[in-house]
Amino acid sequence: MLAGLPVVDLCHDIPPEDIRAGAYVLFTSWKYFPVGSVFLAVVDPGVGTTRKALAAFWNNYFFVAPDNGLLSPFMGDDFRAVEIPVPAEASPTFHARDVFAPAARRLALGESLENLGQPCLSPICCAFLSPRETGEGIRGRVILRDRFGNLITDVPAAMLEGKDFAVMAGGREIALARTYGDVEPGQALALIGSGGFLELSVRDGDAAEALSLSVGDVVEVIWKKM
């Protein structure tokens, strides 16, 4: 441990194997950390296989993660990555401990990214968010269920701004609102969540249960005729 270096446990609750949920948490959290922070992020169905281990730099932040799409939200112009060699003695089932954490430590101590490995020119980039314009609106999907049962979709607020629309999910229309308190207890609502995406909730309740929806299910935005 580096004396004086604060370590924050950002999240240990990502559902097993759910790379997209991990990407969402990184994407909605990085800006609350100081420039120069090192994010160690592991959601790793491919641990111990030939998938690469990456150290990366984007927008003055550092990231250490498997090469499986977890860093997709950051793969713009400014993004660069190197491949961290996996030492022979690393446990084939715990790269977080034996590969990623030691690399994060080196970055936190000030080593340059390039010092950690050879450039990785084509890291795996997934369609992290894939809302689709349907002509009549937007077809999105639930990408995360939080511990309260709120359902976060992949429809960003930017696609909805200034528009007049209805939200359909699970075969019914969900009332639009600004926050939970705008509807009666037990009533479902759709709102722009704190991560900047369309969310479905139930006031004082669990939307996933009440609406019988889960990760992957479709949520439709329908433009209103004028």
Among 148, 164, 186, 214, binds a copy of itself (CB under 8 A): 148
* DSSP track, 161-193: TT--EEEEETTEEE-B-SSGGGS-TT-EEEEE-
**16 or 171: CB nearest a copy of itself:** 16
Q: Which stretch binds a copy of itself (CB under 8 A): 49-57, 71-79, 117-125, 162-170?
A: 49-57
d(CA 95, CA 176): 44
Among 179, 209, 212, 214, binds a copy of itself (CB under 8 A): 179
Task: Give Rg (Cα) of the chain.
Answer: 20
Residue 74: what are its φ and ψ, rounded to 5°? -105, 5
Partner residues linked to 57 by β-bridges: 62, 80
Query: Shortest approach of a copy of itself to residue 200 CB, angstroms?
Result: 12
Query: Shortest approach of a copy of itself to residue 217 CB, angstroms?
Result: 20
d(CA 144, CA 146): 6
Judge contact between 66 and 42, C-beta under 8 A: yes
Among 31, 147, 224, 225, binds a copy of itself (CB under 8 A): 147
Closest among 68, 81, 55 to 22, alpha carbons compared: 68
Among 46, 85, 117, 170, binds a copy of itself (CB under 8 A): 46
d(CA 4, CA 18): 33
Q: Does 133 bind a copy of itself (CB under 8 A)?
A: no
**130 or 179: CB nearest a copy of itself:** 179
**33 or 165: CB nearest a copy of itself:** 33
Site residues, a copy of itself (CB under 8 A): 1, 3-4, 6-9, 16-17, 32-34, 45-51, 91-94, 97-98, 147-148, 178-182, 191, 193-194, 199, 201, 204
